[in-house]
Structure 1
Amino acid sequence: MKAVVKRCIRAGVIFILVNILWTDLAYGLEDRYRVAGDSQFPPYEFVDADGVYKGFNVDMLKAISLVTGLEFEFFPMKWEDAYYSIERGQADIIQGMKESEERKSKFLFSDSLLLNSQSIFVLDNNADINNERDLVGKTISLLKEDISYNEIKRKYNVEIIEYESLDGALEALLKGEVDALIGNTLTVNYLCKERNSIDLIKIIGDTINEQRYCIAVDKNNELLIEKLNAGIAEIQKSGMYDSLYRKWFGAPIKNARTRYETLWKVTIVIAFGLLTLVLVVQSFNRKLKRMVDIKTEEQRVLINELRRFDKLQFMDKIISSIAHEIRNPLTSIKLYTTQMKDKLKDEEFILAAAEDIPEEIDRIDGLIKEFMEYTSPRKAIIESFNLYEELMKTIKLVKFHLGNIDLLIDVDKSYYIKFDTGHFKQIVLNILLNSIDAVKEVNHPAIRIRATINNDKITLLFDDNGHGMNEDDIQYIFEPFYTTKEYGNGLGMFVVKQLVDENEGMISASSHGKGTGMSIILEVKRGEPNEE
């Protein structure tokens, strides 16, 4: 009997220890996290017409991945499924959720991504509604089953017409079917931007039902929330957050009430600022310089990291192409060396080997030098070089992947440009590899590179006959994390734009729509042969 009791006690102790240890291990940092999100909540997160999952929340997680090294896998679903996904073991992260006291019992929330709120929208030419009190007796459009229905009905004593979507409620306001719309501030802002009607609407009064909007994880996973918060802080500090916010939410709808308040406040601030500036200008300038230096260094490090990552994503293609190019001279050298023992007395053979082998070795050495120049990090040096020669050297790095593509080069061999050679290689490789991907499924694939000269500028044009892009997509081609590829990361053309700007050039893209091909136009400074 005692032996049985001892065994039971021992089993109980082991069970408790396993549970304690399992809790500690279960919420350690993993290699890859499952991210759940709403499939239809633009512009926060949504699946577009092409089946691509995108939005502000998706881009934020991608940016966090870049600065922290965490890897995420996205699973779009209905909101009610996303809400219970962590509890059901289907996900580790819910990428966007309003914070509330009730939800804090289930989740740990990150630092705020933004403040989610509702606003009162009216037509810009409406002079009858200037504040909340003017809503009494008016007709309001509202999203069906909105959580704030009862509060709005009680507080404003209005007639409410419910709509299946905010887009429908907005359309009713624009058509004059209702007097005002109450809805999510940023979502209505996004819908107005998509409709090109942002100047037709204004906000009256203060925002209502304001709540923090955050990333949510399991309430016990403190390590993960700390890592996510560190990523959010880094993104905000580097300026990437502002870029993503502008990309998805654009310019806000004007607030009629704050328009005059802002003018008054700005006047007071300017007056006080001018007075203060006289007293502290020297100290302020020193502090400002230190802040600018720190900010500049942080952005430089982040941009360099993006460039390094961009190079790595193409490395497998470049290496396979170089391996193919090296195989030919190696075959020639091997042919000579395998016969050399039997032909030592053949003077004609020895002379041919003495001429051909060094040439083949020089070919291999040249390819390796081109590869090393592309991969080796160094400070940018703008110099004058022959455009045609450098272009052909760069094409060698991806020649193997051209396959049956008809590559046409229309570049005058006398043209010189002022640019950093390493940056030029990375730009051309990015554009070429994008074009190669774009023409894969075309019957007669073709890529054309041509150059024109205009005073002190040279314009380099890259044209392909691939699938092209529509106007809605092409405006974001140089934005970070924007891609139409199934497995792309959206950094290539963003890095290209940064490199072109650093070399005082200009770059643009054009397309007449899907199926009409693509054109990339690069404008750079003209160089001279004697400047090399």
Structure 2
Amino acid sequence: MGRRMVLLFLSFLIILVATPIYADSEGKKTIRIAGDRNFPPYEYMSKTGVYSGFNVDVMNAISIQTGIKFEFVPLPWNQAIQALHDGKVDAIQGMKYSATRDRVYDFSKSYFTSVQAIFVRKDNVWIRELQDLKNTQVAVQKGDIAQELVKVNQGIQLVEVNSQQEAITLLSTGKVDAFVGNQITGQYFAQLMDKQDNIKIVGEQLHPEAYGLAVLPKNKQLLSTINEGIDAIKKDGTYDKIQRKWFGKVILSWSTYFDKWLFWLELAIWVAGILFMGILWWNRQLKREVGKRTVEIEKINEQLQEKMFMLQENLSFQQQLLDSAYSCFVTLDQNGKIAMYNQKAQDILQVQPEWIGKFYKDSLVVSFIPEEQINQTFREAKVYLQQEVTWHRNGEKRIISYSLFPHKNQTGESVGVILNFSDITQRKELERQMAESSRLRALGQLMLGIAHEIRNPLTSILTYAQLLPKKMDNKEFCRLFSEQITDEITRLNDLVDDLLNYAHPRKSAPTSFPFSTLVSSILVLLKQQCSEKKLTVIEEIPEDCYVYADRQQLQQIFLNLIINAIQALPEQGQLIIRAEDLDSHIKIEVKDNGCGMEDQDLDHIFEPFYTKKNDGIGLGLSITYQLVKENHGAIQVTSQLDKGTTFTLLFPHTSTSKDVIPHVSSHDY
């Protein structure tokens, strides 16, 4: 009695949810869903006039889970598709997926796998698969996926019908040779019409594909809620109950089962007979085959020995290759034990062959490579590149450069650590000597530049001083004397200021600020110069692009670079200022399509007093370089004559990222 009451309540609830509702009490929109009115057991009009079926129950369950109101619109299948395209309905509740349909519709998550089948009369023995339908009359439902399957076979005469029930009728009366349609629905109608004794299914299942709700792309947002409902009813067990309700029993008749079992029994007898004969033949051939296999095994053993020899040769070659390398290599296994090292490492560490298998902490490796870094490479697969450390050994100071890499297998799993290190003491000494030589050369050039720049204003001052006693009464001379002496002294004072800034730039006070505001303030100052040349200035700077540097020094850097670009540009030229956040730092470009520079000039542009301008001093880019380094940045320049110049700068965007500015190649000074 209790079970009947529950079933009665559920039936009432399903009918209540299935009743068309155009808006709920809160005015929510009703979703109109079309479906086939004669496609049992998926969806059909029952004898009582109620729209029922597997799809209807699924939609009602989704409605209960999500609160969406559905209005069902039962139509012939081809009319249901047309109603969706005409906008009369919002969705079709059950459509099989295909690549062709996917270009027109958007599908929900699949909640069933639909298969097609070939139905023929039971006395038909020559149609077994899809290819056998050539030159036959085949019934298909209008708009059904079967049309796509059948159309690929040329020579088939299609007979389009409004429902699969009509197709079963045509097949049973001999008006068509075959019917291609949904397997379960075809079986349902065959049983309903008592035609299962003279209709059979042949061949394999056709086109097993996902089956779900379909909408036009404009209603795609509806699918997210539908998908949530599908997940919910599958999770709470409602879907399993609905599926058992409609598909839990096979519709095929007992005679069909008997025919299938009879076929398999006959097949088993034939197979058993063939196996028996095969065993007899096999016993006769076995001795002969054993002899052949013995010869093959001997050949395989010879091949294995050859491969083992080649493997040993390859390992020996790899060891020789490692031993000939300039760097030292030591590998650790996943337990932290030494697995291999080359001759160079053996010479520096003075290890013996018995070190293989020893724990790395017992070796000299930890005397110059921190254990924590090795452990981080083990635990986190962290990479350390070109780390430099001073190693004191036997009272001797050595400089070691080392790198740590995780050793990974083919699946990408870390199975050890590779240590690569070199003694760079001599190289560092050579670099120091070269730097000292370069510093002395730059100092000499600096002195020559200072002498040249000071001599010009001093010559003017000396000339006026010599003429002063003779022309003191000349008012015009006195006026020129006053103006030009002042200009020359100011010029000398500016030169001294530039030299001080170059030699001792002000200590930076970095802060984090949006780079776009800095560029905007600079362009306001240079607006008149840009307008005079009719320049096109393009800013590609994100609003959230922050840079960590001294704002005043950064303003001086980009003021110098932008002024240089404006001076190099012709009329109607183009200036691009671009910024990009690269996680660990900010990349900034100042690009122009002006006159460009020759390659020999690129090697000297950051040197003091190097300039190709007639009125230039040659300290602007030198000071720019100093300020970039003061703010933990890097600068690069690329240029082509008559095509333009690009300055690329890298700065940290936070106070913690200033030590991770990458090395910049190509004219990085």
TM-score by length of 2: 0.29
Name which one, 1 or 2, has greater alpha-carbon Rg: 2
